[in-house]
């Protein structure tokens, strides 16, 4: 799953991209595309400083270690190479603070010939796949981490990760050595996260073995907390009711208002997510919020991977026109259950219009009993307590 979300085209349109992210940010504020925020402005200034240091940064690719020539002509350590003093940036803050928007401004303006922006979960999936493929091609071979690092550094010397988070022990065990190898090769990392480095993988089995990676991360990335005033606990008050019955003009107008409130008036455009090589269309997206109809998501042959992509990429979903569910539309109901499970597990905020309240949405017949858990989750997802939870990526 490779998710790429460039800066909103309306923000970049006409912006002085050749002058760096700070100029783009100020241009967007002056055009009233975004609201001025002191914390965002400070982060834009820090990204501007990094942008200046990285202009035309392109250290030569390191020779592969598993070649005879590479063993004799291995490059000097990166701390002896030009530009090696450049630290990356770890931008941390609560949801809705504008972290991804700022990183997108930086990525879009970076004058680095080899660069890549990717959701961190997708990067880890790709890394595991590449290690598996390398082991298949090199049975009994040496350590796969150096060739993996060579390949990644050859593709991009600047890596921008959205939603950096560690939830998997396999990821935790790999990361320290992989990132140390990437930093040795001169790779610069910019990441957004909801979690400060010292809290990554906290409370998980095996965390002691993960602690050296945190030290490596803090050595090579400056940590900047984006402490803006937007508070998601107030989001439900801004949107009003979150479940509108029945669908129709009044409900549609309410969902229009909720979409604008959740996205804070950000420009709206269609986007495409790539899930296992397939395109997943998002008809409307703005400011971390996506809007769909029930048919968009449940009348098509979508699966768990599609709903996971939506749940990890967007912190809120506006969903129009949920019908009554019966055994006659069992496939749609099954997909809807899967969708809600993913949204709930990742604490995605939901505003919807429906033919009935959750407890009456699947009234009887085969499948009605299985829907009871989904109905319970839908009721909980309307509460202020749920709206106060941070988005899990």
Q: What is the pLDDT of residues 183-225, one digit of tens each?
A: 999 999 999 988 899 988 888 887 888 888 899 999 999 999 9
pLDDT of 144? 93
Q: How much is the mean pLDDT over the chain?
A: 84
pLDDT of 15? 66
Structural domains counted in the chain: 2
Which CATH number does the domain housing residue 251 bear?
A: 3.40.50
**Backbone dihedral region for residue 123 (phi beyond 0: left; psi -120 to 50: alpha; all else: beta):** alpha
Asked whether residue 209 falls in the same domain as residue 317, the answer is: no
384 has pLDDT over 90: no
Asked whether residue 171 falls in the same domain as residue 253, the answer is: no
Asked whether residue 183 falls in the same domain as residue 238, the answer is: no
107 has pLDDT over 80: yes
CA–CA distance, 74 with 186 (Å, rounded to integer): 14
| Within a domain: 180 | yes
| Within a domain: 3 | no
79 has pLDDT over 60: no
Q: Domain end: 184, 204, 225, which one?
A: 225
351 has pLDDT over 90: yes
Asked whether residue 46 falls in the same domain as residue 157, the answer is: yes
Q: pLDDT (tens digit, 9 = 90+) per residue, 287-341?
A: 899 999 999 999 999 988 999 999 999 999 999 999 999 999 999 999 999 999 9
Asked whether residue 244 falls in the same domain as residue 207, the answer is: no
> Nearest-CA neighbor of 261 among 248, 244, 242, 281?
242
pLDDT of 375? 92
pLDDT of 71? 37
Which CATH number does the domain housing residue 117 bear?
A: 3.40.50.300
pLDDT of 10? 54
**Degrees (nearest 5) of the Cα angle 53, 123, 293?**
110
Spell out the residues 6+ positions from residue 46 whose beta carbon is closer than 8 angstroms to its own.
89, 222, 224
Asked whether residue 218 falls in the same domain as residue 264, the answer is: no
Asked whether residue 275 falls in the same domain as residue 198, the answer is: no
| Within a domain: 101 | yes
Asked whether residue 144 falls in the same domain as residue 237, the answer is: no
Q: pLDDT (tens digit, 9 = 90+) per residue, 34-64?
A: 777 888 999 999 999 999 999 988 876 554 3
How is residue 27 written in tokens?
Answer: 């241009």
Domain that holds residue 57: 9-225
Q: pLDDT (tens digit, 9 = 90+) per residue, 112-144?
A: 989 999 988 889 889 999 999 998 888 877 899
* DSSP code for 291: E
pLDDT of 59? 78
Asked whether residue 219 falls in the same domain as residue 271, the answer is: no
| Within a domain: 360 | yes
Going across the sheet that includes 188-193, the strands are 115-119, 158-162, 188-193, 88-92, 221-225
């Amino acid at each position: 799953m490779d998710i790429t979300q460039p800066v909103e085209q309306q923000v970049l349109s006409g912006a002085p991209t050749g002058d760096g992210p700070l100029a783009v940010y100020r241009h967007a504020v002056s055009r009233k595309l975004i609201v001025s925020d002191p914390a965002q402005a400070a982060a834009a200034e820090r990204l501007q400083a990094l942008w200046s240091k990285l202009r035309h940064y392109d250290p030569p690719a390191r020779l592969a270690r598993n070649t005879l020539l590479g063993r004799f002509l291995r490059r000097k350590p990166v701390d002896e190479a030009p530009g090696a003093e450049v630290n990356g940036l770890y931008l941390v803050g609560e949801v809705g603070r504008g972290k991804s928007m700022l990183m997108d401004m930086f990525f879009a303006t970076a004058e680095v010939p080899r660069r890549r922006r990717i959701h961190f979960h997708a990067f880890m999936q790709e890394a595991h796949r590449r290690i598996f493929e390398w082991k298949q091609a090199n049975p009994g071979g040496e350590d796969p981490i150096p060739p993996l690092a060579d390949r990644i550094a050859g593709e991009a010397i600047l890596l921008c990760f959205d939603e950096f988070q560690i939830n998997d022990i396999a990821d935790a065990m790999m990361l320290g050595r992989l990132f140390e190898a990437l930093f040795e090769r001169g790779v610069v990392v910019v990441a957004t996260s909801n979690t400060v480095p010292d809290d990554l993988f906290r409370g998980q089995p095996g965390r002691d073995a993960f602690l050296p990676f945190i030290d490596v991360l803090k050595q090579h990335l400056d940590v900047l907390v984006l402490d803006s005033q937007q508070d998601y606990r107030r989001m439900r008050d801004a949107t009003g009711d979150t479940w509108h019955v029945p669908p129709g003009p009044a409900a549609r107008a309410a969902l229009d208002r909720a979409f604008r409130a959740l996205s804070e008036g950000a420009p709206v455009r269609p986007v495409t997510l790539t899930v296992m090589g397939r395109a997943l269309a998002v008809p409307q997206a703005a400011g971390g919020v996506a809007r769909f109809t029930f048919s968009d998501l449940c009348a098509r042959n979508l699966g768990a991977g599609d709903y996971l992509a939506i749940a990890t990429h967007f912190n809120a979903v506006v969903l129009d026109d949920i019908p009554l569910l019966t055994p006659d539309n069992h496939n749609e109901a099954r997909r809807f259950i899967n969708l809600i499970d993913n949204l709930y597990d990742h604490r995605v905020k939901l505003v919807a219009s429906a033919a009935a309240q959750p407890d009456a949405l699947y009234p009887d017949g085969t499948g009605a009993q299985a829907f009871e858990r989904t109905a319970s989750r839908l009721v909980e997802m309307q509460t202020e307590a749920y709206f106060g939870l941070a988005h899990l990526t």
